[in-house]
Structure 1
Amino acid sequence: MEETLRLIAQNTARAYQQNQGLQPNQYSTFKDFLDIKPPIFKEVEEPLQDDEWLNTIEHKFHLLRVTELMKAEYASHQLQGPIGIWWTHYLSTLSTGANVTWEQFKTAFRGHHIPPGLMRMKAAEFMKLTQGTKTLSEYMHEFNNLSRYVPKFVNTEEKKIESFKRGLGTKLMKTMENYRCATYNEFVSDALTQENQNNLHAAAKGHK
């Protein structure tokens, strides 16, 4: 009876795996990888687009069954143009037959495409950023883009609010300077509302 029950359990588990399309020790093929439409990477305008591409590829890998070596191999096939040439040169510096893990791939990729000097330039842009003649939405867009380069200034809600507040235009700063919010999104939402009220007031005054 025990042997019969064991066989039934094994057959049930096997049938479930077949229905799910998975077999023991079966790994996803390169075709499986291409079927989930991983983005091709050729060139960038912003250095952190490299990081965004890596994050997207990693999310894609969550849908597959692949080893760390397969990740590096599959991802490298999505590198084209100047970045593809860089990868070929990188491989030529390794010993013959060397295997590259996904962590090694990411370290080399970030080290080449997101150099410290460029990160410092972007950080300087962030520190100089002000609203000026931009609308609050335009200022927010630039702030969010540049804040990725200075995590130490935006790694808490309080720091992010203070950094955002620092660059506000004079009129909004007068209203929002002592404003207290629990989250950055809440602060921005209230600032957008205040900007709209200021614009309505200015329009009504101009009409009179």
Structure 2
Amino acid sequence: MTRTRRGIFGDDAGGNDGRGNGHEDLPPPPHPTPAEMKAQLMETQRAMGEDFLVTKPPVFKEAEEPLQSDEWLNTIEQKFCLLRLTEHLKTKYASHQLHGPAGIWWSHHRSTLPRDAQIAWNQFKVAFRGHYIPPGLMSMKHTEFMRLTQGTKSLTEYLHAFNNLSRYAIEFVDTDAKKIASFKRGLSPKLMKTLANNKCATFNEFVSDALTQENQNNIYTASKNRKRAFEAGLS
């Protein structure tokens, strides 16, 4: 039987432990059984899942605008940057945040795949974007932006619609000059005439001037209406 010996400062070449006492070589630890490996893997995944939930990932149910779907996807990916997850676990945790109509969609999509299929994160993103952010819908939103006008909306209502739709036509709003030109294009004729030669350098300054002008126009219109009502009462 093989024995090892240790010298005063450790094993010497002769294997002497300095006390004349030998000890048998320790056997290597036994390999974990498949059941133990599975239990260990499940425990690791459970801990990672708890870490993911600590980041407070947003729930996704449905989106009124396609870019809301894209924003959710980007937020989830930012959460993943804080953790060390496999591509398959990313899909598992993200799909856990799909509730309501989105959860139903995922269940239906999942049923079209093999029962034990491991779905990588990129596969999830392709399926998610294909359902919630199809190119045709993005094109429709782009056209809606190009046709947007103030019409009967107040300037604040027009600004809200402009900011919402401009996200689908970034090439027309990626500088202040382009943004002002696009915004000015849809103004009511009355405001357009007043602000045609406005020289504001920033979009926020232009909107501020437009709001001031709209308020002045409203005061003038209200004054005229009161005068007409007064004159009509005298006649």
Number of aligned residue pairs: 181
Is structure 2 residue 191 aligned with structure 1 residue 172?
yes
Other-structure match for 1:130: 149
Normalised TM-score (structure 1)? 0.74
Query: Is 2:85 the partner of 1:67?
Result: yes
Structure 1 Cα separation of the partners of residues 79 and 197 of structure 2: 44
Structure 2: distance between partners of 1:77 and 1:93? 18
Say whether residues 1:83 and 2:105 are aligned partners.
no
> What's the counterpart of residue 49 of structure 1?
68
Structure having the higher Rg:
2
Q: Secondary structure at the match of 2:167?
A: helix
Give the CA deviation at 1:99. Answer: 4.5
Query: Is 2:162 the counterpart of 1:143?
Result: yes
Which segment is superposed worse, 50-59 or 160-169? 50-59
Correspondence for 1:201: 220
Where structure 2 has 5 or more consecutive residues not aligned to the other structure, the ranges are 1-43, 228-235
SS at match of 1:134: coil
Q: Does 1:184 align with 2:208?
A: no
Alignment of 1:111-126 (within 5 A): 111-126=130-145
Instruction: State the 1:136 CA deviation.
Output: 0.2
Higher relative contact order (CA 8 A, sep 6+): 1
AA aligned opposite 1:65: L
Residue identity in the other structure for 1:166: R
CA shift for structure 1 position 137: 0.3
TM-score by length of 2: 0.66
C-alpha distance after superposition, 1:119-153 (max 9, x if no partner): 22222221221111110000011111111122222
Offset of residue 67 of structure 1:
2.9
Task: Look up the SS of the partner of 2:106 in the other structure.
Answer: helix
> Displacement of 1:45 after TM fit?
2.3
- Structure number with the higher helix fraction is 1
